[in-house]
Structure 1
C-alpha cells in the first residue's frame, strides 16, 4: 500500500524538487542569451536557431490536460495547424489516450520533465528520474523517444542561467535539444516560437494567433528548423513504458480508492468506539438496577461440574485445579480430561488427591472431543468450562452461575483477565482484554447478542449443551461456535463481570500469532457456519442481525481497512499537510485512550497502564491486522488450519495480590 502511495505522492507532490528556481548566480552564455530560442550543444559548441519569417511554432507546456488539451487539438485541427506539445511524463502516463491523439493528429511531442520540477534545483537522482521516466511514459504510450526538451520554469533563452544552465548542459550531453521561447517583443511576422500553457487563457491566445494575417505557416519546432525529433525505441523500452503507464493508472485508482476507504475505516472506527462506550454505560446502569430484564428468582446453589480439558499442561494444571478447589462454592465436581498428553499433566492432577477431582484419560482428539468426554462424565446439571492455564478467584464460580437462575439463560461468560503482565507484549494484551474483549461483552449483553463465551471461564446449562449436540469440532473456535449454536437454539447468553479468572497469554510474537490466527480463522468459520441466523426470527435472528453484523463489520472488515488510517497518516506527513495529518492521527488515538481509560476503570484496573497504549497502536495493532488479513485470505483459499496450543509457563496468577488462595486446601 505504502509503495503505491509513495510513487503516487512523489509524482504529484514533488518531494525533493523545488517548485521555483533560485535566482541566477551567473548569466546565460552570450551565445545563448543573444541567440535563438532553440539551443543545441555538440562538438561544434553552442548552436541556436529561430523560426523562419512568417512561421510560428506553437508550443504548449504541461499536460496533457483532460479538459484543455482536447479543446486545443480541436482548434488546431480546425485551422489545419501543427504544434509542439511539451508534456509532463506523469500526466502522459495518466492520460495515454491524449498522448496518442496528439501524435496521431500530426503534432509533435517533447519532454517537459516528469513532474515539472526545476531541474537546476534537482538532485542527480531526481534529475535522471525526471528525464528517464518521461521517456518511458512516451515510449509506453506512443513508442517514441523525443529529442526535444523544454526545461520547466524557463521562458526565453536568457532564463537558462545559473543552475539552470548547468542542468541544461547535462541534458544536452544526453542528446536533448533545448527549446525555449522568443521574447514577447518579437512579432509573428519575424518568425516566432510561442510558449503557451494548456489553460483557458492559452486557448484564447492561440485562437487569436491562428487568425493573425502576418503568419503563413503554423508548424512544429522540428519541422521549422529541420531537426530530428524522435528516435526509435526498443521492445524492452516500450514494455518498460507500458509498465509505467499501468503502474500510474493503478496508483491513481488506488489513491482515490484509499481516500474512500479512509473515510469508511475512520467512520467505522469512531462508530465502534461510540457504541462500546454508550453500551458499556448502559450495561453499568443495568447492573445498578439489578438487570430488570433478567430477574434472579433465587440464589443458585446447585452442584457444579467443572470441565478442564488439558493437553500437555503440566506447567499450570496444578494451579488451575487448586484455584478451583479453593472456591467458596459449596459443591463442586472437577473433571480434568487429559487429552493424550505426553507430559506429566495427568499425574500432577491425580497427585492433588482430592475426592472432588476426577482425572479422565483419553487419546488425543482435540479440545471439542475432550469437552464432550467431560460432559459424559459430569454428574451435575450446571457445567463450568475452564482452560487448563486459568486461575479462578475464590468467588468466581458463585458469581458465574447466578445468571443461570433465569430459565431462559443457557450460558454465562465470565471476566477473563491477563495474569502474566510483566512483558511488553503481555501488557498490550492486558489492554486488549479490557478495552476490546470486555467492553465488547458489555455491549453484547445489552444488545442480547453475546458472540463468545470464552473457553477460559464459562458456565452452561447441561440441557442447553445436549440440545445443540455438545461441543462441535467443525471450527477452530469451538467456544464461539458453541455460543452461536446456543443462540440459534433459543437460549440467552449473558456476561457476568464479577466472575473473574486469570489466564496466561502468549509471551512471544510467534505464540501470539499462532493463537490469534486460530481465533480469527475459527471465528470466521463460525460466522459462516451460522450465517443463516441473520434470516431467522426471535432470539436467533436478533443474535444474527446484531452479533454477526458486528463481527463482520468491526472484527473482519475494519481490521482489513484500518491500516489505511496509519498509511495515510504517513502519506499526509510526507506529501500533504504534516500538521493536519498528524493532528487527525493523534486525535483518533486520543479518543481511543479516553475509551480505554473508561474500560480500565470499569474493570477496576490501574489507569496508568494507558502509558503502553500508544506503542500498542503503532506495533501490536499492526500485527493483529496482519492476522485478520491472513485469516481472510486463508478462508477464501479454502485452507485448513490445525488446532495449535500455546506453550505454557504456569504464570497465570502473577497479578493476584497477596498469598494465592489455593496454596493450602483442606481435603473434604
Structure 2
C-alpha cells in the first residue's frame, strides 16, 4: 500500500465549477421560487377555467313545496318585477299588450348570436340575464348585445342556486358577474334573475332573504309570468303556445339562449315575434316595462324620475353612479348602449373587469393547448412503457440464452478507482467489499481533500484487512472529475472500474463487469446499481425507481446501442478510451453522462451488464434527495447541450445522436417537465368534469406502471412487497422529481451553474450479505 501526496507549493487554481459555486448558491433559492410560481400559475389558469365551466347547465328546478310564510302576500300575488324602494318590497307587472322578452343562461357562442340576429331583424330589444362565467369567456358577444340596444342582467357567475349559499358566496357571485360585465361591455347592471327561479308565487323562506338582501343593495329581481319551457325542447309549436300570454295581458316571457341545445328556440323565436306583433303587442326591456307602467300611473316613483332597481332615497346603486337615459320601452336595434338599468363602469371596477377578461382569455387559450400537448405526452409515455417492456424482454432473452458469450473470458487484472470526499462513514465498507473480489484488482482511493480523515481510515481498513493492493492518493480538493482523472492516470492496468466511495460491490461484481471487454468494440460497461438503504419510505421509493430504470430503461438503451449514462456507482472503461476522449470532463455536473456520450461519439460501444451489481446508499432525506437529483438532471442537460452536435454525426459514431439524444430529450426532459400537468388535469377533471372517469383513468395509468415495475422486479429477482409503496410514490415522490426537473430547466435557461453537492452519508449500507 502506497500513499502519494502532492507538493505543498502554490495552491491549485479553482476549477470553473468552483469559481461559479458562490454565484450559483445565491441564485438557487430564487429559481426554486420561480419554478414553484410557474407551476402555481399554470395550476391557477386551469382552476380558473374549471371554475368558469362549473355548474352552468340547464334550467331544471331544484326544490318545490317549500314554505313561504315569511314572504309578503303582495309579493306572492304581485308582478314579476321586484324591487325594494325605501326598504319596502314593491312589485311591478308588465303593461297590457307588452312583452318583456327575456333570455337566460347566456351568452353562448352558437345560439346567442343567432338570437341577436333575429332581434335585429325585427328591430326589437330584449333583456338577457347572463351567467358571469360565460360573459368572461365570450365578452365580444356581450359587447355586441349591449351595443345593439339590448339590456343585460345578472344570472350569477356560476349558475348556482343562491338560496342555500352563504352571504359571502352570494356577494361573490354578484360581484364577479359585475366585473365580467365591466370588462366585456364597460357597464354594470341593477337587474338580477336567480337561477332556477320561476314566478313570484314560488318565492319561499329559503330564497326570500336573498331577494331582500339584494334588493337592499339596489338590485331589481326579475321573475317570469309566462314561461316558454323551451329548455325542455317540446317542439316549436308548443314553445310558441306556452310563451303566449292570455287575453292581451302583458308578460315577462322566458326563453333561453344557452344552457343546452337551443335549435328549437331559434326556429320558434321569429314565428313567435310575428304572431305577437300581429296580435298588437309591442316588445320592450324590463326597464322599459317598469317605465311604461309607472308613466301610465300604475306606480309613482316620486319626484325626480325613476331609478330602476335603486332605493328612491339614498339607496345603494350596484355597479356605480347611475347614468340614465329616457326610454319609451321600444328601444330597437341601434339604440343607445346605456339602458336605464345599466351603469357605466369606471375606475377600479373597469380595470378589474378587464383584468378578469384577460385572465379568462389566457385560460381559454392555455387549457386547450395544454390538453392537446398532454394528450401527445400521454401517448408518448404509454408508447415508451410498451417499447420498454418489449425491448427489455428481448434484451433479457438475448443475454440469458446459453450460447450467449462476449468472447473469451477476461482474466487480466483491473484497476478499481474510488474517488472519496469525506467518506469516513463508508470507505471501510467499500474496501471490505473489494477485498472479497473474485477478480484480481488493484484499488486506488483518491482522497479529494477530505477533512474528516477519510484517507487515514482507508489506510487503516486496508491494513486490518491485510490488503496489499490498495493505494491511497491525496489531492487538494478539486472535484470528482479531477479525482477520477488522477486515478486513471495512476492506474496500472488497461481496464479501469469506477465506483463511488459510498458503494459496496458483491464478490463477483468486478469479474462480471469486465467480461464484455472480450468484445474489442466495447469501450465501456454500465453495471446495475442497487439501493441498499431501502427500508425507509424514501429509500423504498428510490429502490422502485432504480429497479425500473436499470432493468427497463438501460436494457432498452443497450439493445438500441445508445446507452446515455454509465452510473458513477459502477462502471468500467478501457483506460485508453478514457484518455482518448480527454478523461472525465469538468464542463458538466454529470461527468458520467458526459463521458458516456463522448465514448459513443468516439465510436466506442457502451453496453449494460445487468448481473454486475453494486449497492449504494441513497439519500436519506428529501433535502438531500432534492440536491442529488437537481445535480443529476441539470448535469444531464449540460451534457446533452455540450454534445448537441452529435445530432449531425455520421456513421456508427452518430448512432447516439440519431437515436439516443432524441430519446433522452423527449423522455427524460420534455415529458417529465409536462408530467406535473397530468396530475393537475386529473384533479381538474375530478372536480369539474367527471370524478369517476378521471379516477379510473388515473388508476389505469397506475396499473400500467405497476405492470412495468413488476416485470422489472421479476427480471432482477427483487421482492414484490416494495411495490406496495408505488401508489404513494406516484402521489408524493413523483411530484418532487417533477419540481426538481423544472427547477433544473429554469437554472439552465437562466445560465446558472452548480457545484458538486456532497450528500450526508450514514454508512448503513454494508456488504451485500447484510442488505435485505
Please report the TM-score for the alignment, with normalisation by the length of structure 1: 0.94
Whole-Å separation in 1 of the counterparts to 2:764 and 2:513 = 23
Is contact 1:17–1:126 with CA below 8 Å preserved after alignment?
Answer: no
Q: CA deviation at 1:160?
A: 2.7
Closer, same or farther: CA 421–298 of 1 in aligned 2, 3 Å:
same
Q: Deviations over 1:172-209 (max 9, x none)?
A: 12211111223356258443322211133333333123
Q: 1:504 Cα shift?
A: 0.8
CA separation of 1:65/1:188 partners in 2, compared to 1, >3 Å: closer, same or farther?
A: farther
Offset, 1:9: 2.5
- Separation (CA, whole Å) in 1 of partners of 2:248 and 2:664: 75
Question: 1:86-113 deviations in whole A, cap 9, x for unaligned?
Answer: 1111111111111111111221111111
Equivalence for 2:208 = 165
Is 1:201 aligned to 2:264, yes or no?
yes
1:53 corresponding residue in structure 2: 96
Partner of 2:207, secondary structure, is helix
Residues 186 and 550 of structure 1: is their aligned pair in 2 closer, same or farther, counting only changes over 3 Å?
A: same
Which residue is 1:610 aligned to?
723
Q: SS in structure 2 opposite 1:563? A: helix
Report deviation, 1:349. Answer: 1.8
- Tell me how far apart the structure 2 counterparts of residues 257 and 188 of structure 1 sit (CA, whole Å): 55
RMSD: 2.3
Provide the rounded CA distance (Å) in 2 between the counterparts of 1:291 and 1:526: 37
Deviations 1:208-235 (A, max 9, x none): 2332223464222112323341234341
Distance of aligned partners of 1:626 and 1:120 in 2 relative to their CA distance in 1, 3 Å threshold = same
In 2: Cα distance, 1:19 partner to 1:206 partner: 21
Instruction: Please give the per-residue CA displacement for 1:28-69, whole angstroms capped at 9, x wherever unaligned.
Output: 643223322211123362222223333322211121111222
SS in 1 for 2:153: strand
Question: 2 CA distance for matches of 1:535 and 1:291?
Answer: 37
- Give the corresponding residue for 1:257: 369
Look up the match of 1:186: 245
Deviation at 1:387, TM superposition (A): 0.7
- Is structure 2 residue 138 aligned with structure 1 residue 108? no
More deviation, 478-487/37-46? 37-46
Kept after mapping to 2: 8 A contact 1:265/1:564: no
Distance 1:539 1:77 in 2: 72
**1:86 maps to what in 2?**
129
1:69-94: per-residue Cα shift (whole Å, max 9, x none)? 22222222222222211111111111
- Any conservation in 1 of the 2:421–2:449 contact (CA below 8 Å)? yes
Structure 1 residues 526 and 146: CA distance shift in structure 2, 3 A: same
TM-score normalised over the length of structure 2: 0.81
**What is residue 397 of structure 2 aligned with on the other side?**
285
The answer on 1:334 being equivalent to 2:443 is yes
- Name the structure 2 match of 1:422: 535
Displacement after TM superposition at 1:516 (Å): 0.4
- Tell me, yes or no, if the aligned pair for 2:78 and 2:91 is still in contact at 8 Å: yes
What residue is the counterpart of 1:528 in the other structure? 641
Which stretch of structure 1 is more off in the superposition, 275-284 or 20-29?
20-29
Q: Helix, strand or coil: the match of 1:387?
A: coil
Q: Which of 109, 134, 144 is 2:187 aligned to?
A: 144
**1:513 alignment partner in structure 2:** 626
Secondary structure at 1:537's aligned position in 2? Answer: coil
Superposition map of 1:263-282 within 5 A: 263-282=375-394
Give 1:554's match in structure 2, choosing from 651, 655, 667.
667
1:501-558 deviation per Cα after TM superposition (whole angstroms, max 9, x unaligned): 1111110111110000000000111111112222222333222222112211111122
Alignment check: 8 A CA contact 2:406 2:519 kept: yes
* 1:382-401 mapped onto 2 (5 Å cutoff): 382-401=495-514
Comparing 615-624 and 566-575, the one that deviates more = 566-575
8 Å CA contact 2:57–2:159 kept in 1: the answer is no
Structure 1 residue 168: Cα displacement: 1.9
SS at structure 1 position matched to 2:764: coil
State how far apart, in whole Å, the 1-side matches of 2:593 and 2:280 are.
83
Give the deviation of 1:322 after TM superposition: 2.5
Contact 1:155-1:195 at 8 Å conserved across structures: no
Q: Within 5 Å, give how 1:200-599 maps onto structure 2.
A: 200-211=263-274, 212-215=277-280, 217-226=282-291, 227=308, 228-289=340-401, 295-330=405-440, 332-351=441-460, 352-353=462-463, 354-599=467-712
Q: CA deviation at 1:656?
A: 2.7
1:120 matched to 2:182? The reply is no
Q: Give deviations 1:450-486, integer Å, cap 9, x for gaps.
A: 1111111111011211111111111100000000000
Paired position in structure 2 for 1:42? 85
| Residues 44 and 271 of structure 1: CA distance in aligned 2, closer, same or farther (over 3 Å) | closer
Instruction: Note if contact 2:56-2:159 (Cα within 8 Å) is conserved in structure 1.
Output: no
Q: Decide whether aligned partners of structure 1 residues 565 and 22 sit closer, same or farther in structure 2, where only a CA change above 3 A counts.
A: same
Which 10-residue stretch deviates more, 20-29 or 555-564?
Answer: 20-29
Residue 44 (structure 2) pairs with residue 3 (structure 1)? yes
In structure 2, what is the Cα distance between the partners aligned to 1:100 and 1:565? 36
Give 5+ residue unaligned stretches, structure 2: 1-41, 227-242, 292-307, 309-339
CA distance in 2, matches of 1:513, 1:549: 26
Contact 2:532 2:771 in 1 (8 A): no
User: 2: CA distance between counterparts of 1:24 and 1:17?
Assistant: 21
CA distance in 2 between counterparts of 1:571 and 1:543 reads: 39
Summarize deviations over 1:356-386 as a string: whole Å, max 9, x none: 1111111111111111111111111111111
Pairwise CA distance, 1:610: 1.1
CA distance in 1, matches of 2:388, 2:57: 44
State the secondary structure of the residue aligned to 2:409.
Answer: coil
CA distance in 2 between counterparts of 1:19 and 1:256 reads: 29
Contact conserved, 1:411 with 1:459, CA < 8 A, in 2?
Answer: yes
- Report the count of equivalent residues: 656
Q: Which region of structure 1 is more displaced relative to structure 2, 34-43 or 97-106?
A: 34-43
Deviates more, 1:503-512 or 1:51-60: 51-60
Which SS does the other structure have where 1:41 is aligned?
A: strand
Query: What is the DSSP-based 3-state SS (H/G/I as helix, E as strand, rest coil) of the residue aligned with 2:598?
Result: helix
Does the CA contact (< 8 Å) of 2:432 and 2:767 recur in 1? no
Regions of 4+ moved over 6 Å? 15-19
Residue 663 (structure 1) aligns with: none
Q: Contact 1:419 / 1:656 at 8 angstroms: preserved in 2?
A: no
CA–CA separation in structure 2 for the residues paired with 1:327 and 1:609:
29
d(CA) in 2 for partners of 1:651, 1:477: 25
Q: CA 1:31–1:658 in 2, change beyond 3 Å: closer, same or farther?
A: closer
The equivalent of 1:664 in structure 2 is none
Distance 1:15 1:187 in 2: 32
Q: Structure 1 371/188 Cα, relative in aligned 2: closer, same or farther at 3 Å?
A: farther
Structure 1 residues 639 and 39: CA distance shift in structure 2, 3 A: same
CA gap 1:307/1:53 in 2 versus in 1, 3 angstroms = same
8 Å contact kept, 2:506–2:767 = no
Residues 10-19 or 89-98, more deviating? 10-19
Q: Distance in 2 between matches of 1:285 and 1:109?
A: 72
Given that 2:433 and 2:506 are in contact with CA atoms closer than 8 Å, whether structure 1 keeps it comes out as yes
